[in-house]
Structure 1
């Protein structure tokens, strides 16, 4: 069996390894089912109801129906990997491998080969997917009061290296059956997909119910115990935020973001329009703490409450202004911006030390002072252009702070050990 990508041990932590151990011990239950949980026998699984499939290939078109379908060898799975992560990045995923995913039953088909020859037949069939794997993912729900976790919305997909299909007695078991077998690779995939669509809900429900039955007996804090964190006082993160913002300011300078280029823009005006180009924004490397910053603890997360700000932003543009047949080119547009303040809440998963933002809000946007020179004959439009530039500058700075700068702060929070 191809076990590429498998890990040993397969679980990413103690909880995952407990689930793996329970799945390994559950093979007899997979064969016999668990009636109390509504889980039917899964090996063999079936017989299933009628399954229809369609083939619409280059050389073969047919309609088919499968009955008495059984799926075998599900209890021979190997747990390749299982990830169970709590905290901000809550996720569950698993990878099960089966050497021979075997399906058999009765088929009936009717169609055309090469658009000329009738294709018909019925009888036994068998379909084998070799080196198969079933991968799944789910959301995790954790109740800190009961200290119990569960998975929900599990979804499964299957992959394999080879498909082998045998249709017995197609076209009456005569010589024409060899002709059809030459096109069998066009039949196998749609047949397999139809079978998988039929069994997928059964497997999904069985696995989700079975794993939740395992999890209901596990107290999460007994298995994964985060570091003990002392109660925190207001302002306990001031030095930490100072350090983070120093790193961010250095990265901004090294990345060539101060000054940062601004996108060109076309501004509609009451008497015409203005095209702004060659824009730049200075002052981003002046991020600093702007008040008390505090770290606190809630269940398995650390929360950072921070106030930061930047002062003395400056923007520069060149502008071509048009009104009717009059054109002014190369007008110089500059703007100075007072204080822009931001409040953010960042949270770190204490289990995997990953940081994300819960809030990132611009709480104060200072006065924008615009200066425009070189309007020439269109000087009377300076007032309306000033108003449009104010809105543009506010939008540009907001986009820069809520995009690139927010990402840089998150990177620095991820890379800097939290106190």
Structure 2
């Protein structure tokens, strides 16, 4: 299907003359700049939401509670996490973006300097088989140098109009600081207590990361397709249409482009 669509674009844009123009760095840069501008405008959606697309503000991002079940050689613990919110998405910055105008693939990297997760926990269990572990109260989980790498695939219809047909992310963090208020142990647990905290923090992080991944992928895909709904690849290449400027978001009255 991708080959058929791209073949249609070649016909639409003038056949063999297009092949030479695609090798021009200026043509590549035009598409890069256009997609970069759309993703930068997505930061407004993070802060303000977008009523037309049914997207609420994402910073803070409220996350449903979930059960906590940890079983390791040193720790068995059950409980739950609730009243979760996270802040920091508004600090998201695109640090690199490149589009391949032949394959219509997109590679991007986004950084979040700091990402905070907070909420309530309630747990009980055993450490080292015999030491009771229990506690409830607020917790905080702070992530540093959070990096999001994205891979996308643009599509082009036979009339030359663009859409983002696929988008996915991988997420990594460099540092993690965890605090569970009221977490108690029997005696001087020392390193065991640190292990408990790390296991709990990693479990919470992995759960939140999965929700963040799905949320970010869905709303960014909707926003990009909304922004591309009237955009022709030929207009970008020819310089007829310029990258969108800073804007709170697209107005109502249109629907997002369908992703095939």
Give the TM interval when normalised to the shorter protein: 0.7 to 0.9
* Unaligned residue ranges in structure 2 (runs of 5+): 1-27, 239-260
Q: Does 1:193 align with 2:206?
A: yes
> Of residues 85, 93, 110 in structure 2, which corresponds to 1:70?
85
Equivalent in the alignment of 1:218:
231
1:33-76 per-position Cα deviation (integer Å, ceiling 9, x unaligned) = 11211222111111x21222332333222224211111101010
Partner of 2:113: 99
Higher strand share: 1
Match of 1:154 in 2: 167
Distance of aligned partners of 1:25 and 1:153 in 2 relative to their CA distance in 1, 3 Å threshold: closer
Contact 1:54–1:191 (8 Å) recurs in 2: no
Alignment check: 8 A CA contact 2:93 2:111 kept: yes
* Structure 2 equivalent of residue 126 of structure 1: 140
Residue aligning to 2:6: none
Identify the residue that residue 45 of structure 2 maps to in structure 1: 29
Match of 1:81 among 71, 87, 96: 96
**C-alpha separation between the residues in 1 aligned to 2:155 and 2:120?**
42
Task: Tell me how far apart the structure 2 counterparts of residues 15 and 95 of structure 1 sit (CA, whole Å).
Answer: 16
Instruction: Confirm or deny: 8 A CA contact 2:42 2:223 kept in the other structure.
Output: no
Instruction: State the alpha-carbon separation in 2 of the partners of residues 176 and 122 from structure 1.
Output: 20
Q: CA deviation at 1:179?
A: 6.3
Q: Is the 8 A contact 2:77 2:125 kept in 1?
A: yes
| Superposition TM-score, scaled by structure 1 size | 0.47
Within 5 Å, which residues of 2 pair with 1:379-398? none
How many residues matched? 211
Rg larger in 1 or in 2?
A: 1
| Alignment of 1:170 onto 2:170 | no
> CA separation of 1:168/1:178 partners in 2, compared to 1, >3 Å: closer, same or farther?
farther
- Taking the aligned partners of 2:231 and 2:187, their CA distance within structure 1 comes to 61
**Aligned 8 A contact 2:113 2:146 in 1:** yes
- 58-67 or 190-199, which moves further after superposition? 58-67
SS of residue paired to 1:164: strand
Contact 2:42 2:220 (C-alpha < 8 Å) held by counterparts: no
1:162: how far off? 1.1
1:206 pairs with 2:192: no
User: Would the alpha carbon gap of residues 75 and 133 (structure 1) be closer, same or farther in structure 2, given more than 3 Å must change?
Assistant: same
Cα contact 2:32–2:98 (8 A) shared by 1: yes
Paired with 2:29 and 2:71, the residues of 1 have a C-alpha distance of 46
CA contact (8 A) 1:100 1:131 kept: yes
Partner of 2:66: 51
* CA–CA distance in structure 2, aligned partners of residues 95 and 84 of structure 1: 12
**Runs of 5+ unmatched residues, structure 1:** 1-11, 226-419
- Between 1 and 2, higher relative CO (CA 8 Å, sep ≥ 6) is seen in 2
Describe the shift of the 1:181–1:218 C-alpha distance in structure 2 as closer, same or farther (beyond 3 A). farther
CA distance in structure 1 between the partners assigned to 2:48 and 2:190 by the alignment: 40
Q: Any conservation in 2 of the 1:129–1:161 contact (CA below 8 Å)? A: yes
The residue number in structure 2 matching 1:345 is none
Q: Name the TM-score, length of structure 2 as normaliser.
A: 0.73
2:142 partner SS = strand
Q: CA deviation at 1:138?
A: 2.5
CA contact (8 A) 1:52 1:194 kept: no
